[in-house]
Structure 1
Amino acid sequence: MKISLRHLSYFRALCQHGHFGHAADAANVSQPALSVKIQELEDILQAPLIDRTTRPFRPTPYGNRILDRANRILADVQALEDSAQLRRGVEGPFALGVIPTVAPYLLPAAIPLIQSRLPQLDLQIREGTTDELLDELDQGKLDACVIATEVQSDKLQQTDLFADRFLLAIQAKQADALGLKDCQIALSDIAPLKLLLLSEGHCLRDQAKSFCQYATQETLNQIGASSLQTLAGLAAAGYGATLIPEIAFQDTEFKGPLAVLRIAPPEPERNISFVTKIHMEKTMDSVELERIFAEAGALKTKETREKLAARTSV
């Protein structure tokens, strides 16, 4: 016979009340049933747990040690049961993965909204590449992730949040020398430029390569950078050009002599989406969280577009 939670809960009740009858009432069982379980627990551990020579009954010294462990075990079980009652995505812990080309720009706008509208949610952020996040989502280490590529899996639910257009960042002097003008830049104009890309594993690198289908291997400069800030800094220094998403515009617009220019329609863009496992729909309510990220993203892109439009109207 093995120790069960019932053994531990009955033993705790007896220690609390010091009386078999009162403990049985508290545990909502008959006194004989409780007595049997206490005797079984002592038989399993091969030691007396209750000093039956005193009134009220008290645990023996060894029984006190067992009581401490029983209290910890029963508290953990209660916490586990309580967590199952939480509305996942609304309250309690929620592990969210976000790709590096989104996290630094979207999270500062979204976090205040989350704190205001979902005050009981304990959001735990994990930043990583798309492949890393999807792998952790599959392993159950993440509840959801925010990415910028389309997934092809019947196990995943993907909800579009907002569209994030791409802008060309290049040193202002180089833009003037090449005749690159705002809203008049075709993708074929970008192809001859030395295009700075993020390191392997970043989806933005692959998206930039696909947009510039005319580029050659010689003009695609794979410097191994892991952040857009690094690429923007290199572009400002005249080392090459890069594509940056709208949500990153405010972090790059004052970076020295950098020109951030809009590409002619149809402007290339990426779709930012919220991804969860399909089978989690019944146990997780992420609708409000998705709505917040969509709202924050729409606000960021709207601010950028208004700034860019105002710049050309001056």
Structure 2
Amino acid sequence: MRPTLRQMEYVVTVHQLGSFGLAAEMLHVSQPSLSNQIAAVETDLGVRLFERGRSGAQATARGLEFVTRARRILSEVAALRATMLSDLPFGGRLRLGVLPSIGPYLLPQAMKALHDDQPDLRVIVREENTLSLDEGVRNGRFDAIISTPEDHPNTFQYPLFVEPLWVAVAPNHPLADRGRVTAPDLAGQRLLTLDTGHRLARIVYGLAGASGAMVSDDYEGTSLDSIVLMAATGAGIGILPDLFARRQGVHRTEVRVMPLAMPGADRTISLMLPKDRSATLSRELAAILRGAAGGLGLQVVPLSP
């Protein structure tokens, strides 16, 4: 059946490297052979997959769709082979995606417990934003992700914990001496958050609407550290997740951090897997992550029967 798995691999590699020559070198085939195979796919499907030019090979719109689907197929085949050849969960290799605001604080303890339980399981962790995590779990780049469940429909979900939000303000800000901040305190204030590729930004927009605040339209943070720095300049009130605030923010002298006490000022974090991929370790992994979250003082969501 065409396209063959090998032809799919050729197309995906050319897209990754942006060059027929580099792809042929990586795959240990001649460039004419690789080009002929991709041309055969294009002829067979009646579509053009790449635009070729001096700057290299650029995937067309149909080419990008081919690459996305081919990656998923190749990943499933690799997972099938690994599973058949190994008795370990996830075929012996767990590719785990996680939000950058969660990974550094939750995973060290959790991965130690997982290693104690499955010492031969290799875990590969990547930190990415919400949109990239969703793309990765759908195209097979990740076996599982830790993220906000609203952003990943049609996945198998294990709720882990609820994480409250905090605020960060400059030391001379009128709210700096408060023990906590409430909705009326935010009225008329400018809120600072991450870019819209993160669920946190959408939560902050909701909080702004509920409190009469506004979200800064001239600054979107690329990291929680950058939000802290902007808050320190007096540009607005930074909104931070609990793990970062308690593990990092409270130690920063350039800002004051305190809990945000208002409805909706939290986010749920879940472990998610593709619905069509089951794993014997998933429930155990969720239990380990819940245990790590509980040890950090977070409100753990009970594991359903």
**TM-score w.r.t. length of structure 1:** 0.62
Matches within 5 A, 1:2-13: none
**Cα contact 2:191–2:208 (8 A) shared by 1:** no
Q: Which residue of 2 aligns with 1:226?
A: 222
> Per the alignment, do residues 267 and 216 of structure 1 end up closer, same or farther by CA in structure 2, a change over 3 Å counting?
closer
**Cα contact 1:167–1:263 (8 A) shared by 2:** yes
Letter aligned with residue 263 of structure 1 = L
Aligned partners of 1:200, 1:180: CA distance in 2, in Å? Answer: 30
Q: CA deviation at 1:284?
A: 4.0
> Per the alignment, do residues 229 and 266 of structure 1 end up closer, same or farther by CA in structure 2, a change over 3 Å counting?
same
Matches within 5 A, 1:281-296: 281=278, 283-296=279-292
Q: CA deviation at 1:95?
A: 0.6
**Cα contact 2:151–2:199 (8 A) shared by 1:** no
Aligned partners of 2:225, 2:176: CA distance in 1, in Å? Answer: 25
SS of the residue 1:223 aligns to: coil
Q: Which residue of 1 aligns with 2:157?
A: 158
Deviations along 1:271-310, whole A, 9 cap, x unmatched? 01011112222x442112111111112222359xxxxxxx
Q: CA deviation at 1:98?
A: 0.6
Superposition CA RMSD, Å: 2.7
Q: Which residue of 2 aligns with 1:143?
A: 143
Q: CA deviation at 1:138?
A: 1.2
SS of the residue 2:166 aligns to: strand
1:244 corresponds to which of 227, 240, 245: 240
SS of the residue 2:172 aligns to: helix
Q: Which residue of 2 aligns with 1:117?
A: 117
Q: Which residue of 2 aligns with 1:192?
A: 188
Aligned residue pairs, count: 219
**Cα contact 1:99–1:127 (8 A) shared by 2:** yes
Letter aligned with residue 98 of structure 1 = V
**Cα contact 1:96–1:142 (8 A) shared by 2:** yes
> Per the alignment, do residues 82 and 192 of structure 1 end up closer, same or farther by CA in structure 2, a change over 3 Å counting?
closer
**TM-score w.r.t. length of structure 2:** 0.64
SS of the residue 1:207 aligns to: helix
Aligned partners of 1:128, 1:152: CA distance in 2, in Å? Answer: 14
Q: Which residue of 1 aligns with 2:89?
A: 88
Deviations along 1:189-224, whole A, 9 cap, x unmatched? 22422211112311111111112214465x524523
SS of the residue 2:101 aligns to: coil
Q: Which residue of 2 aligns with 1:210?
A: 206
Aligned partners of 2:87, 2:110: CA distance in 1, in Å? Answer: 22
Letter aligned with residue 89 of structure 2 = R
Letter aligned with residue 145 of structure 1 = I
Q: Which residue of 1 aligns with 2:39?
A: none
Aligned partners of 1:246, 1:207: CA distance in 2, in Å? Answer: 14
Aligned partners of 1:157, 1:138: CA distance in 2, in Å? Answer: 12
Q: Which residue of 2 aligns with 1:258?
A: 255
Q: CA deviation at 1:231?
A: 0.9
Aligned partners of 1:232, 1:193: CA distance in 2, in Å? Answer: 16
> Per the alignment, do residues 226 and 149 of structure 1 end up closer, same or farther by CA in structure 2, a change over 3 Å counting?
farther
Q: CA deviation at 1:170?
A: 0.9
Letter aligned with residue 156 of structure 1 = T
Letter aligned with residue 219 of structure 2 = I
Q: Which residue of 1 aligns with 2:276?
A: 279
SS of the residue 1:161 aligns to: strand
Deviations along 1:157-213, whole A, 9 cap, x unmatched? 111101100111112321xx3476223x22232242221111231111111111221
**Cα contact 2:148–2:270 (8 A) shared by 1:** yes
Letter aligned with residue 255 of structure 2 = L
Gap runs ≥5 in structure 1: 1-76, 304-314
**Cα contact 1:199–1:222 (8 A) shared by 2:** no
> Per the alignment, do residues 149 and 221 of structure 1 end up closer, same or farther by CA in structure 2, a change over 3 Å counting?
farther
Gap runs ≥5 in structure 2: 1-77, 300-305
Aligned partners of 1:237, 1:198: CA distance in 2, in Å? Answer: 17
Aligned partners of 1:81, 1:198: CA distance in 2, in Å? Answer: 38
**Cα contact 2:169–2:176 (8 A) shared by 1:** no
Aligned partners of 2:212, 2:100: CA distance in 1, in Å? Answer: 25
